[in-house]
Amino acid sequence: MITRRLLLAGALALVITGCSSGPDPAAPAASASGDGKYTIGVANFMLGGPYFSGMDKAIAAQAQKKGNVEIISTDANGDAAKLASNVEDLLSKNVDAVIISGGPLESAPAVLNSIKAAGKPVVLVDRKFQTGEYTSWIGPDNEAIGRQNGEFLAEKLPDGGKVGIIKGGPADNTIGSARTNGVKSVLSAKSNITLVEAPDFGNWGSDGGLTVMESLLATNGDLKAVFCENDAMCLGAQRAIADAGKTDQIIIAGVDGQAEALKAIMDGTNYLVTGLNDADIIGAMGLDRAVEILGGAQVEKDTVVPSPRVTKENAKQFMNPDGSF
């Protein structure tokens, strides 16, 4: 927990000191109400998964700590048109800034155009959209997380074997593909390792991971390891592996640092590694970034948050009993 707090402190210091580009010229230097208080809208593409709901809670918790920030949070339930409508509604309430948690959404030009037209700053957390203008983005290097997972699996499988890959979807989701590409860039170079990509998507949830893992085991009962594009799917996959009596055969690697995954790693199960992509940390940083912009500070356009490898040796340090994720 100490290391997790230090990582958060260091990341927040990075936000404050890493000032390479200025804020959106249209961003106000004071709150719209003029009373020193800010109202910040949080536009969530979806809150249906633990990571995204954790992000939303982390933003609200950080706002509460500041004491002068009110949060208005919305949920588009995975509907891009609804996200645009929610943003228009937030702008009609004259919020001072907007934070967007885009989840698997690749782009939202209408949303970003509306915010720009309203002269408000917009901070993207976790997801960087492929098109459109934004004021600042805070998130991980997903391909680097995948590479470090691939390196870990290569170390654990010196004799080779089959490695299953469970993807979240949809097919054009660059967050997931970056993670998988990172793993593949390492393991595809190993002549004694065979990669088996599941044909179906796990949809980023535990139930999806369970179903896809069951299908993988039906056709590849000799798997030695499985990589999932997030921890939630890996937790479901772990259940399927246990149900098949293959816990001692198959090791598991995930991404995010979800509390349940950290506990499984700490407990010495076959869940051996994850790459930290902490919703609590990124959410808190996103809220702070928005407040800094509103205060007139110069901030980085893009901030990559460190994503250390988490194993049994250090998992306890990253477990936060007070976290939202």
Q: Quick check: 106 and 174 in contact, CB under 8 A?
A: yes
Query: Token pair for residue 285?
Result: 């940083």
* Percentage of the residues of the chain whose pLDDT score is greater than 70: 89
Q: Quick check: 234 and 204 in contact, CB under 8 A?
A: no
DSSP string, 47-93: --SHHHHHHHHHHHHHHHHHSSEEEEEEE-TT-HHHHHHHHHHHHHT
pLDDT tier at 248 (50, 70, 90 boundaries)? very high
- The alpha helices in 118-258, defined as continuous H runs, are 142-156, 174-187, 206-219, 231-243
Q: How far, in Å, CA of 82 to CA of 68, rounded?
A: 29
Instruction: Residue 134: name the closest of 149, 120, 148, 151 by CA.
Output: 120
Count Cβ atoms below 10 Å from residue 234 Cβ, excluding itself.
31
Over residues 27-65, the pLDDT tens digits come to 344 555 556 799 999 999 999 888 999 999 999 999 999
Average pLDDT over residues 175-184: 97
Question: What phi, psi does 149 have (nearest 5°)?
Answer: -65, -40
Over residues 127-158, the pLDDT tens digits come to 999 999 999 999 999 999 999 999 999 999 99
Q: Quick check: 312 and 196 in contact, CB under 8 A?
A: no
What's the mean pLDDT when you consider all of the chain? 91
Q: Which sign, positive or negative, has the C-alpha torsion 193, 197, 198, 199? A: negative
Q: Which sign, positive or negative, has the C-alpha torsion 279, 315, 224, 236? A: negative
pLDDT tier at 325 (50, 70, 90 boundaries)? confident
Q: Quick check: 32 and 306 in contact, CB under 8 A?
A: no
The C-alpha angle 52, 55, 60, rounded to 5 degrees, equals 135
Residue with tokens 């660059």: 174
Strand partners, 101: 44, 125
* pLDDT of 13 strictly over 60: no
pLDDT at 32: 55
pLDDT at 31: 55
Query: Token pair for residue 284?
Result: 């808190």
Q: Tell me if the bond preceding 158 is cis, omega within 30° of 0.
A: no
Instruction: Residue 140: name the closest of 11, 37, 228, 291 by CA.
Output: 11
pLDDT at 19: 41
Average pLDDT over residues 88-109: 96
DSSP string, 6-46: HHHHHHHHHHHH---BPPPTTS-SS-TTSSS-EEEEEEES-
pLDDT tier at 5 (50, 70, 90 boundaries)? very low
HSE, CB side, 13 Å, CA atoms: give it for residue 294: 26
* pLDDT of 212 strictly over 70: yes
- How many angstroms separate the Cα of 288 from the Cα of each of 28, 63, 162, 285? 15, 8, 44, 5
Average pLDDT over residues 274-287: 96
pLDDT at 323: 77
Q: Which sign, positive or negative, has the C-alpha torsion 192, 264, 4, 167? A: positive
* Amino acid identity for residue 119 in this structure: G
pLDDT at 48: 87
Average pLDDT over residues 263-291: 97
pLDDT at 85: 98
* Percentage of the residues of the chain whose pLDDT score is greater than 90: 84
Average pLDDT over residues 12-20: 42
pLDDT at 320: 82
